[in-house]
Structure 1
Amino acid sequence: MLFETAGVHVAPWIPPVVAFGVSFITSMAGLSGAFLLLPFQMSVLGYVHPSVSATNQLFNIVAIPSGVWRFIKEGRMVWPLTLVVVVGTMPGVILGALIRVLYLPDPLHFKMFVGMVLLYIGFRMVRQLLDTRGKEPKTEEGSDFKTTVLFWNLREMAYTFRGRTHRFSVPGISFMSFVVGIIGGIYGIGGGAIIAPFFVSFYRLPVHTIAGATLMGTFVTSVTGVLFYQGMAPFFPAMHIAPDWGLGLLFGLGGIAGIYMGARCQKYMPERGLKWLLCIVLAGTAGKYIVEFILYVRP
């Protein structure tokens, strides 16, 4: 089957199957899986136009609501945290999309920076995991997984989860979300692959409580990104900027089932297992970016 905007031939069953497998695993850690679908589209399918970023964000729009609905139903959405993430990332993703279109049609040189940041976050997470071996409570099913917001304002927020209180700085997370939004706008990944491990590593927030917020933030910023890319397309007629709607929808169909099942199964996964999953994701993504940069600049 030919997808004209993407310029690729692929059997129509492949995108949803790949998206289901990727999003099922990654959604348990609060990630949509778009950051893994992007290299699949570029390296396997040969989709290298700037519009691949918009297509990737279209996948997020279609796939994420099923998982968000599941987190809401189970009382695991921390709404103030979600609001902070959305407000911070939206202007960032617009700026990132502008940078991608105007200055980085091939953002390879930016990958070394992103890769080093991801490696540092991953290093912090591994060190914390090794330092806390045997000290974390076992995961239990039931009402203990519901979160309760104690208070929130423009400076600080606090909520309880499984008998523990978690606090964080609202301005700090807002600024970090803005930076992540820029990176997500450039790469078309929504930013969840960076913001989720940042929450876990720097703010020590439980994975079970941040997954819904990061998915919702990724959804909202992806809507902004797709609308922006679609609106920019008429001004750059010589470039492929608008998403490939057919390919994005096929990926999204697989993602709907994958993210829903991942959100449903997450509470059966221990906290440490989810953190190690994030570490593996970070290491793989960072390694890919750094290796690609080194191979590109090597004489």
Structure 2
Amino acid sequence: MTWSTGLAGFAFGLLTAVVTAPVGVSGAVFLLPVQLSVLGVAGPAVTPTNLLFNVVAGPGALVRYRRAGLLHSPLTRLLLAGTLPGVVVGAVLRVFAVPGATAFRLLVAVLLLPLGLWLVVRTLRPARHTPAQAPSRRAVTGLALVVGVVGGIYGIGGGSVLGPVLVGRGLPVARVAPAALASTFATSVAGASTFALLSLTGSGAVAPDWYLGLACGLGGLIGGYFGARLQPRLPETALRLVLGALAVALGALYAVQSLR
């Protein structure tokens, strides 16, 4: 990796984390197309490289949220109960089944594009009837399990999916963001460890691009801290609009890529 690629990775990680940390998204899912199309990471290595980014970048925002006393919540425990076993299953599927990237992009587009549009419209034009009922504990854990499997396959922490769904179901962003980021960090540590163990089996090239992952992660570490520090200064409406807009942008990007 050249110094210019490392610098570009650092810059992408920094900018992504500043924007996404306030709404509970690590930014790894946005780095996926950047790694493939701009930074030149090839094949299965994208998954563990993205997980490495989350591991390095995660503590920046988490330290800030911990100081504010926002990490130790029942929602955090429910998400961890689903994503941790899910990411192990997903990592095994990635190594031995290796699903294509096109299917993933189409899945993300189908899920996030309408969800993001709905969240933006709902924020700009709140419903006059009774607000949506918050999901049950079982539903939250079930959703987290599915997201964990997807995260293990494609190297995303899951905040980009968990955030819009939970906020759309009526939970405040200030509650969802720290729980989603804590889940993303723990999931990424478990996923990266699983890939390290699976690499010992010799089943394909599953090692991350260490230098690029660290460069992006260092940028995310700094950006995540400042993004989390920015969150209390932003109104709930602005945070919901940012989250919805991010979901729409990512869904549209992946829809275009999946049709190529």
Identity, % of aligned positions: 38
> Does residue 191 in structure 1 map to residue 185 in structure 2?
no
1:53 Cα offset (Å) = 0.9
Aligned positions of 1:153-232 closer than 5 A:
168-202=135-169, 204-232=170-198
Q: 1:88 to 1:127 in 2, by over 3 A?
A: same
Residue number in structure 1 paired with 2:115: 121
Counterparts of 1:286 and 1:278, CA distance in 2: 12
1:290 aligns with 2:228: no
Letter in 2 for 1:177: A
Which letter maps to 2:237? R
Quote the offset at 1:168 in angstroms.
4.2
Q: Distance in 2 between matches of 1:287 and 1:100?
A: 24
Shift of 1:36: 1.2
Distance in 1 (CA, whole Å) between partners of 2:182 and 2:241 is 22
Answering whether residue 55 of structure 2 is matched by residue 61 of structure 1, we say yes
Classify 1:167/1:285 alpha carbon distance in 2 versus 1 (closer, same or farther; 3 Å): closer
**Distance (Å, rounded) in 2 between the aligned partners of 1:58 and 1:113:** 23
Which residue in the other structure is 1:241 paired with?
206
Deviation at 1:126, TM superposition (A): 2.4
Shift of 1:75: 2.2
Distance 2:71 2:30 in 1: 24
User: Is the Cα–Cα contact under 8 Å of residues 50 and 241 in structure 1 kept in the other structure?
Assistant: yes
Secondary structure of 1:125 counterpart: helix
Structure 1 Cα separation of the partners of residues 66 and 149 of structure 2:
27
Structure with more strand by fraction? 1
Partner AA of 1:261 in structure 2: F
The question of 1:130 aligning with 2:95 is answered no
Structure 2 residue 235 is the aligned partner of structure 1 residue 270: yes
The total of aligned residue pairs comes to 256
The superposition leaves residues 159-217 of structure 1 with CA deviations (integer Å, 9 ceiling, x where unpaired) of: xxxxxxx9541101000101111111121011110001111002x11111211110000
Contact 2:120 2:245 in 1 (8 A): no
Q: CA deviation at 1:113?
A: 2.5
Go from structure 1 to structure 2 and tell me whether the alpha carbon gap of 1:11 and 1:117 turns closer, same or farther (over 3 Å shift). closer
Cα distance in 2, alignment partners of residues 113 and 15 from structure 1: 26
SS at match of 1:28: helix
Higher alpha-carbon Rg: 1
Distance in 2 (alpha carbons) for counterparts of 1:267 and 1:213: 15
- State the SS of the aligned residue for 1:242: coil
Q: Is the counterpart of residue 94 in structure 1 residue 61 in structure 2?
A: no
C-alpha distance in 1, partners of 2:211/2:238? 35
Deviation at 1:13, TM superposition (A): 2.2
Q: Relative CO higher for 1 or 2, CA cutoff 8 Å, sep ≥ 6?
A: 2
* TM-aligned CA deviation for residue 10 of structure 1: 4.2
Question: Does structure 2 conserve the Cα–Cα contact (< 8 Å) formed by 1:15 and 1:250?
Answer: yes
Unaligned runs of at least 5 residues, structure 1 = 3-8, 134-165
Contact 1:78/1:212, CA 8 A, preserved across alignment? no
With over 3 angstroms needed to count, the CA separation of the structure-2 counterparts of 1:48 and 1:106, relative to structure 1, is: farther
User: Could you tell me whether the CA contact under 8 Å between 1:84 and 1:170 is conserved in 2?
Assistant: yes
SS at 1:236 equivalent: coil
The question of 1:109 aligning with 2:103 is answered yes
- Rounded to whole Å, the distance in 1 between the matches of 2:6 and 2:33 is 18
Q: Following TM superposition, by how much is the alpha carbon of 1:111 offset from its aligned partner in structure 2, in angstroms?
A: 2.5
